[in-house]
Amino acid sequence: MTDPAKTDPAETGSAATLAAEPNTLGATPRASRKPLIASLFSRRISGECASVALGVFAVLFGIIVTAHLVRLLNRAARGGISVDTVLAAMSFQTLNLFPLVLALTVFIATLVALTRAHRDSEMVIWFACGMPLRAFIVPLLRFALPFVGLVAVLTLAVRPWAVTRSLELQSELQSRDEIALVAPGVFKETRSGTKVYFVERFSDFGQSLAEVFIRSADEQGESITVAHSGDVTRAANGDRFLVLRDGHRYESGNTPGSWRMTLFKQADILIQPYEKQGFNNTAKSTETLALFGSDRPGDIAELQWRFHMPIASLLLVLLAVPLGFVNPRARRSINLALAVLIYALYSNALSVTNAWVAQGRLAPWPGFCLVHLALIGVVVALLAWQTGAYKRWRQRA
């Protein structure tokens, strides 16, 4: 055996170094554990919110497109608009509502993701790993900022363009002739009220008609024309004619109750053209840069509304952080009901204050800031209550 008193000092130093090495190596993973957890936490929260957002956006977009398509097809069936303009009208209206869809997508996706994390006790694991509730704000903003930027681009640039194109389309529809808006199987009265058309069916992209009925009333009397078929043709001078074939015409006589019937193989009826009407630009169709130089209350309100949407999208994400909390012993729908209530109050308050600004009943800056500041106060109050900061403040007080 080796005498401890005769142990070489060099050997003692080596042993001490080896003994210290495990502590040194063990301390390195513990020091680097928190950044690793923070990186995993950030990717997990952002990734889950993004995956939920895809599903939410698909559902909301499908509902809006379907609702507008059904409404436009109903108008086209009644002869309110031409069938060939349904797709264009739906596209412009969809672009007009796209910012609202994105704002709701971000809010609902964040709320659903955080609610699931609370319900499945995943939040307990994150809290145990040293991730406080305020740590959720950074990954949520990383997820939401691209959507907020897209909402800003849509409201500031794309939406005015879509409204302008929609007004141009309405002006073009009003300038079309009296045959263009006739729908098959529907009695259609002309804008002047002097004629009523009925066509059983169309073919050749609306250029050929079958089973035509026309009732006309003017200063000279009343006439009814019925034909088996007809075609829409254009003369050399640009006039459009409705050429009817194999029909008969009833005309009122000079004496009351007398009618005169005329059979014809072909009859040409001039289609009265309408003068092309322009459209007046509104605040919604005015470019954003032009609104900055206006002092009219309506233009100021429209400019504020375009900034309301991206700000609201960002604040709703922050609102979802405290509203995502779910107590396993409470009903799961309580936080969702509270979220719907706060969103409804927030949205209606924005609309009301914006209308007051447009009417001149409220100054621009208070009308722009009050509702957003109120929602920020609600978010801060809910976070203080959920994190226990309010109880600690009361204890110190």
pLDDT tens, position by position, 167-215: 888 777 766 666 766 777 888 877 777 788 888 887 765 678 888 888 8
Identify whether the C-beta of residue 60 lies closer than 8 Å to the C-beta of residue 105: yes
Rg for the chain, CA atoms, rounded: 35
> What is the spatial distance between Cα 239 and Cα 272, in angstroms, rounded to a whole number?
9
Give the pLDDT confidence of 256-299 residue by residue, as tens digits.
767 888 898 988 888 776 666 666 788 888 999 999 988 999 99
Give the pLDDT confidence of 325-355 residue by residue, as tens digits.
776 666 566 778 889 999 999 999 999 999 9
Q: Look up the pTM and report it.
A: 0.73
For residues 60 and 383, the model is more confident at 60
Q: Is 41 helix (H, G, I), strand (E, B) or coil?
A: helix
Average pLDDT over residues 106-128: 83
- 242 by Cβ neighbours in 10 Å (0-12 / 13-18 / 19+) ranks as buried
> What is the spatial distance between Cα 290 and Cα 288, in angstroms, rounded to a whole number?
5
> What is the spatial distance between Cα 213 and Cα 224, in angstroms, rounded to a whole number?
7
Show me where the domains of the chain are located. Answer: 35-175+281-396, 188-270
- Region of 206 (left: φ > 0; alpha: ψ -120 to 50; beta: rest) is left
So what's the pLDDT on residue 31?
Answer: 47
